[in-house]
């Protein structure tokens, strides 16, 4: 009997000690500094989420990775028929097929990454509500799968260039910066929409309409030179205009971008900064609201 009482007393002591060690993690109040370095600590999770999305996209697909060839080919054919044949849109002296293909590839990467980033928090709701990790991981990881399609499309473009006697020069070294620019714009806008999407699920419906308008306002199927001089600076407020124009100059020997490129770059960086600040300010409540 005495031994049983001792065991009960000991069990009560352990319970009290465990209660004393219990720490409740609550959302911090006020403003916090951006902890971008924390993203590096979760780099393996970034790669895991990106690979998961790639595998899910091609799992049980009829054509598999062949869609990365079919989509740009069909897209360029439609653009050539509507804008080139019917509307007679010029292409700044560049053959229209590579002109439209490069614009279509960059836009496809941007629009897909924007959509994935916008839905990244909602699509990972079970992960967000159960464990702690740097929330920035999910939108960043959503930018990586699109590079698979883009890389295949660029190989297709490389095969097409010799048929039009186009040989990229040293300007091709600038093309990686165009990819970085597309990532910056997609991440900045994606962070804003992802934060709104946590609270308002109809953001997904607005995104389709927004992407269509953004497509028409970008020089994907037409050159920026069609925009009048008095509207050129306003047109440069679209950061994707600078990205696409610079890419055509770097790979297709197109016209060099004008001073408006600086405005596009500033808008793109500002969009990323605003997206990061808004996302960081709201992320503390994601698990409660989502």
Convert the pLDDT of each residue in 22-38 to its tens digit.
444 444 444 555 666 77
In percent, how much of the chain has pLDDT > 90?
Answer: 48
Q: How far is residue 22's CA from residue 182's CA, in Å, rounded to a whole number? A: 46
Nearest-10 crossing angle of helices 96-118, 175-199: 30
Across 29-51, average pLDDT: 74
Task: Kindly state the average pLDDT of the residues 226-247.
Answer: 93
> 35 or 179: which carries more pLDDT confidence?
179
CA atoms within 13 A of residue 64's CA, in its CB half-sphere:
1
Residue 235 contacts residue 227 (beta carbons within 8 Å): yes
Question: How does pLDDT run across 143-170, given as a tens digit for each residue?
Answer: 999 998 899 999 999 999 999 999 998 9
Residues 6+ apart with CB under 8 A from 185: 110, 239, 240, 243, 268, 271, 272
Q: Which of 81-85, 91-95, 192-196, 248-252 has the highest mean pLDDT?
A: 248-252
* H/E run at residue 165: none
The helix/strand/coil state of 170 is: helix
CB contact set of 245 (below 8 Å; sequence gap of 6+): 219, 224, 254, 255, 257, 261
Structure tokens at 181: 């620019």
Rounded to two decimals, what is the model's pTM?
Answer: 0.84
Residue 107: C-alpha distances to residues 85, 99, 131, 225, 241 (Å): 21, 13, 34, 18, 10
For 7-16, 31-40, 108-117, 181-190, which range has the lowest pLDDT when averaged over its residues?
7-16
Average pLDDT over residues 210-230: 92
From the list 192, 228, 225, the residue with the least C-alpha distance to 210 is: 192
Token readout for 267 is: 């808008």
Tell me how crowded residue 50 is: count the other CB atoms within 10 A of its CB. 20
Retrieve residue 184's tokens. 């910056």
Residues 6+ apart with CB under 8 A from 12: none
Distance separating the N- and C-terminal Cα atoms of the chain: 53
Q: What is the dihedral of CA 75, 218, 276, 125, to 10 degrees?
A: -30
b/e burial code for range 21-39 (CB count within 10 A of at least 16 → b): eeeeeeeeeeeeeeeeeeb
Q: Where do we find the tokens 């994935």?
A: 116
pLDDT of amino acid 158: 92
Q: Where are the beta strands (DSSP E) in 65-115?
A: none
């Amino acid at each position: 009997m005495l031994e049983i009482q001792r065991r009960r007393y000991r069990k009560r002591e352990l319970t009290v000690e465990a209660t004393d060690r219990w720490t409740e993690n609550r959302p911090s109040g006020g403003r916090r500094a951006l902890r971008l370095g924390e993203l590096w600590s979760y780099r393996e999770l970034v790669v895991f989420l990106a690979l998961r999305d790639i595998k899910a996209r091609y799992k049980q697909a009829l054509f598999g990775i062949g869609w990365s060839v079919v989509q740009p080919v069909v897209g360029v054919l439609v653009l050539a028929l509507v804008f080139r044949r019917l509307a007679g849109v010029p292409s700044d002296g560049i053959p229209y097929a590579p002109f439209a293909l490069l614009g279509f590839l960059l836009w496809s990467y941007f629009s897909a990454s924007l959509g994935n980033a916008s839905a990244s928090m909602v699509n990972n709701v079970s992960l967000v509500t159960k464990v702690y990790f740097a929330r920035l991981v999910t939108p960043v990881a959503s930018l990586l799968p699109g590079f698979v399609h883009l890389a295949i499309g660029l190989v297709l473009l490389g095969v097409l260039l010799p048929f039009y006697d186009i040989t990229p020069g040293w300007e091709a070294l600038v093309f990686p910066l165009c990819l970085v620019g597309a990532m910056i714009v997609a991440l900045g806008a994606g962070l804003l929409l992802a934060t709104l999407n946590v609270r308002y699920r109809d953001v997904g419906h607005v995104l389709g309409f927004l992407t269509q308008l953004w497509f028409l306002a970008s020089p994907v199927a037409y050159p920026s030179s069609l925009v009048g001089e008095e509207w050129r600076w306003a047109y440069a407020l679209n950061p994707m205009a600078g990205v696409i124009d610079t890419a055509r100059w770097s790979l297709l020997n197109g016209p060099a971008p004008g001073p408006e490129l600086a405005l596009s770059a500033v808008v793109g960086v500002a969009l990323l900064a605003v997206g990061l600040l808004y996302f960081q300010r709201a992320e503390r409540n994601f698990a409660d609201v989502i």
